[in-house]
Amino acid sequence: MRILLAPMEGVVDHTMRDMLTTFGGIDRCVTEFVRVTSTLLPKKTYLRLCPELANGCKTPVGTPVYVQLLGSDPDCMAANAVRAAEMGALGIDLNFGCPAKTVNNSDGGAALLRTPERLYNVVSAIRRAVPNHVPVTAKMRLGYADKLLAMENALACNDGGATELVVHARTKTDGYKPPAYWEDLAALRNAIDIPLIANGEVWTPEQFHRCREVSGCEDVMIGRGMVANPGLASQIVHGGERMAWRDIIPLLIRFQEYTIDTYEPRYTANRMKQWLNYLTSNYTEAVTLFEQIRKIRDGQQVLGMLWKESTLF
């Protein structure tokens, strides 16, 4: 049984990957997507989205990170995958699930789910291009507007040579609206030779176990549930209660310090607000803290509020 941390554009950057792997339980992370159109991207693009490349492609606690590519041109995707592999990527992950209009209009993400042979072409071109020891994984949704091509798309990834397949159990049209259709994953899992990793709407240990039971999948990928409860993977693996707020605060302080070091000043307060917003679904203390920092624009001042919060315990 493995737990993977889901890629989340604009949320799960290298700092957040560092934070969310701190408590253990996460077996692998994926970067935000590298958008591939018609050029071989410079190394600095890869280092920006995956600074872990300079550290054996692992988070500080040693969790492997795969580099995610988003695009539709097989040759260009392959050239970029080779570059990422040469730079030390521990795996290449392909995004066939992004629902964003701008991405879909320019022929990327979930848009490819309408033509399974295009998935096959991208996966197989990359599989041929990168060395055998580098895993090539794919992440898709159940479909674009409906689920009719779910099986063909899963088989296209399988036959194209993907090492593993993650399926977010919803269509592009479903967006992020509950429920996730875990039951639809079982037939796909039985039809392919590679591991299928279930994804979507896992927020608690109970949902994690239910998702595995219903989908028949060994492994589960979790996104928002981990951001909302940084101790979730550890709780799933070791049991026990949800992590206490007082144990979350040092993590928030570390995150804010890193954010101040890494990001332009105008972003440093907003990133904490974004995270607190997720945490409010589990911690009433986060609701209060969010209200206190809501109007603050200075990251250092936010850090001061977090230190103050830490003295309450």
Ligand X SMILES: Cc1cc2nc3c(=O)[nH]c(=O)nc-3n(C[C@H](O)[C@H](O)[C@H](O)COP(=O)(O)O)c2cc1C
**Which residues of this chain interact with ligand X, rule CB under 6 A?**
6-11, 32-33, 68, 95, 97-98, 139, 168, 176, 199-202, 222-225
Q: What is the dihedral of CA 192, 185, 27, 136, to 10 degrees?
A: 40
Please report how close the Cβ of residue 6 comes to ligand X at its closest, in angstroms.
Answer: 3
Cβ atoms of residues 63 and 27 within 8 Å: yes
Q: Give residue 31's identity as a one-letter amino acid code.
A: T
Q: Which residue is nearest to ligand X (CB)?
A: 223
Please report how close the Cβ of residue 280 comes to ligand X at its closest, in angstroms.
Answer: 15
Measured from the CB atom, the residue of 68 and 249 that comes closer to ligand X is 68
Q: Which of 29, 57, 76, 98 is catalytic?
A: 98
Measured from the CB atom, the residue of 277 and 292 that comes closer to ligand X is 277
Measured from the CB atom, the residue of 11 and 305 that comes closer to ligand X is 11
Measured from the CB atom, the residue of 9 and 152 that comes closer to ligand X is 9
Q: Is 50 a catalytic residue?
A: no
Please report how close the Cβ of residue 14 comes to ligand X at its closest, in angstroms.
Answer: 14
Please report how close the Cβ of residue 96 comes to ligand X at its closest, in angstroms.
Answer: 8
Q: Which residues are catalytic?
A: 98
